[in-house]
Structures are given as structure tokens and as C-alpha cells.
Amino acid sequence: MRLNGQNLAACVATAVKVRPDLAGKLVVCALNIARIKTQSVTGRLSLDTINQIIKSAIAAAPWVASAIVTAAIESEPYARESIVAAAISAAPDQESEIRVALASSSSMSILPRLVAFNPSETGPSGSVNSPEQPPSGP
């Protein structure tokens, strides 16, 4: 939490090198820490801060660039274009995978609007008989 700027980016890079399987989560944590440090009125990070974190993480493990991009876009959707540009500049040989991650994150963003996760939202109204809550009454 005490880190900022280049020190935060260096720690992200080290963490991603050690645990590339957690790269997306590590980037989101770094973005959240940066947000806490800036105490922005809008709650948004500067694009420079986001780019610095993305570039550091991807430079540490370019083969997980798509996971980093996906997680960063989910965390900071307003910075989508900047995240993609930073990722491609850090790992130009991973551009096709980054573009695929961008396309999949775009399609996932509309999923909650298309799918009802609560059956009561789409099913008939009335009492529900389930094994977890047996019907009450005589």
C-alpha cells in the first residue's frame, strides 16, 4: 500500500514473474491500490497509471497478456482502448491473443443483460417447491 508510481509497477512485475497464473488478479490488485492512493473524486485512475501497471505486468510475463488485458478491462472498462494499446506496445508478438481477449471481454460485458440468473425473474410467479425449503402448511 505504501508503494506508488515506478515502485508499484516494479512490484507488480516481480509478482507476475513469480506467479504468472495470478497475473490478472495481481494487476487488478495493483489498480485498486493505485486508486486508493490517488483518492480521485471520480474514482477513475489516470490512463498513465493504468498503462504503467499494464506494461510492467505484461513485460514480466508476455505469454499471459490476454489474461492481464481481460482482468484490466473488467476492472477499468473506461480505459479499454488505452489498456489494449499499452498491452500491444509491451508485447507486440502477442497482439492477436490480446485482440481475442478484447473481443471476448466485449461479448462478456453484454452477458448479464441477456441471461437471467434468478429463475424467479423468468419463471411463473407463485410458490416455489424446493428440497431446500419444503412447502409449509397442512
45 Cβ partners below 8 Å, 6+ apart? 31, 34, 35, 38, 76, 79
Domain count, the chain: 1
At 38 the pLDDT is 78
pLDDT(20) > 90? yes
Pairwise pLDDT comparison (46 vs 134), residue with the higher score? 46
pTM of the full predicted structure? 0.70
Considering the domain boundaries, does residue 126 fall inside one?
Answer: no
Considering the domain boundaries, does residue 95 fall inside one?
Answer: yes
Give the mean pLDDT of 19-29: 94
Sign of CA dihedral 45, 51, 56, 57: positive
At 48 the pLDDT is 92
Considering the domain boundaries, does residue 123 fall inside one?
Answer: no
| 83-118: pLDDT as tens digits | 999 999 999 998 888 888 778 776 544 444 344 444
Considering the domain boundaries, does residue 91 fall inside one?
Answer: yes
